Chains A and B, each alone.
Chain A
Amino acid sequence: MASSSMEGSMPTMDEYEALLSTTDVELLKRAWRSEKAAPEILRYDFDLVGRVTEQLQLMEETVDEKSTSGADPLSLSLYQMDLDRTLFLLRSYLRIRIQKIEKYMFHIRKSDELWNRLSKGEKDFASRCIDDLKHHLEESVLSKLPENYQSVEKQSVISEEDDMVPEPRLDTFVLCRSKEYLSGIQLEDGPVEDRSKLFEMEPGVLYFICYKSIKPLVESGKIDLL
């Protein structure tokens, strides 16, 4: 049996089987939890949502067929429950993302990296939201302010940054867990003399860490947020 961790070796039988047996629902649950816990919007999982939507549609058709062909009402209601649970996960996932987009739409629009994390539908939604909000702010308040204060993004013409644009706080603490042993994490937070210390994470153990410190590891999928 292959022993664990040689750099770049094939996954062991156990890992492989674990990969195979992770259902899409579990992956969706993980994406949902990550999205909930992360302060900024994460990458939209196109493949996962696509597959889950397909499975949901298939299941809805199956349930419809079964109910007309007089199947056992008990098993029918159980299938419906499973359907409803998966639907809830999907909806909640999409809803959280929309909430984040609504909060930070100007900030997301400014950054290519963040903008590209949205799905096509979300991009359309964000664009419309931005236009509507801009229009509203200009009509109701900004056009009535003195000329130097009319920008949506800046407090006044002399502001160096876009200080009227809300941004997510990336230094909030999040609960997370790593799938494998990780070392060399630099803590962004804490007394200055400790920042040079490198932090380690053991697999399967929960940690409360400043999001900024682990951002790249979350993006690469090595760390799960809870």
Chain B
Amino acid sequence: MAGQSDPELSLFSAEELEFIAEDEIVDIVPNLKMGPLNFISGDFGPFIPQIVAQVPLWLAVALKKRGKCSICPPQWMCVEKLTQVLEAERNSQEMSEQLPFHYVEISRLLFDHANDDISDAYMVRSLIEDIRDVRFHKVETDLEAFNGRTIAVKIKNLSAMEVNIVDRKLSKMPQGGNCEDKVLTAGSVLLNSLY
């Protein structure tokens, strides 16, 4: 039959994933006074110096770039917590459930724009990279477990970036003939997530 589904249409690019992650809410400490902002996407503020406010990540980064605030790193982004998470990831084939769905994008944005607001930024960055490596490796080995008889593979607690990888790999699988011929005959893959 003519025509094959174009996998590229359905995949998110890294920039699009970042765009989605930028709507996550973070805490900031403004150093200016500004009235409430009535955006199409929601109402934020008013902002009072030294009083913590909740804003979407894109807004936090914009204010930070202009020197108007400092960003409070989220609770999970500290050396103790991340060391725990790395331990847990290394000791088990399961994925840790302690990381938010967009941990990769959020940490990347904060490193790029608010590095000075993160204590022990170097340590934190290297821990997150290690965690990413361990998790990606687990995802790849889990995917290799698919064979013609697999019905479901349960992979819990994937993050957005990891889901994207799974998506890409699965869309590249040869899809010809009827369902039984597919390399991925799995009825479904169960992915639990903290979304």
A interface list, Cβ under 8 A from B: 23-26, 29, 36-39, 52, 55-56, 59, 72, 74-75, 77-79, 81-83, 85-86, 88, 96, 99-100, 103-104, 163-169, 171-175, 177, 187-192, 194, 199, 204-210, 226
Contacts and interface: CB of A to CB of B under 8 A. Distances in A.
A24 B42 CA distance: 9
B195 A25 contact: no
A73 to B, nearest CB: 10
Nearest to B8: A99
Contacts of B175: 169, 171-172
Interface string B138-159: 0000000000010100000010
Interface string B156-172: 00100001001100110
Interface of B: 1-6, 9-10, 12, 19-20, 23, 34-35, 37, 39-42, 58-59, 62-63, 66, 68, 149, 151, 158, 163, 166-167, 170-171, 175, 179-180, 182, 184-193, 195
B40 A99 contact: no
A79 B103 CA distance: 27
Given A191-B180, A207-B190, A79 B19 contact: no
Contacts of A171: 175, 179
Nearest to A209: B188
Q: Give the top 9 A-B pairs by smallest Cβ distance, nearest first.
A: A166-B3, A190-B187, A208-B189, A82-B39, A169-B5, A25-B41, A206-B191, A187-B187, A209-B188
B193 A206 contact: yes
B42 A173 contact: no
A74 B151 contact: no
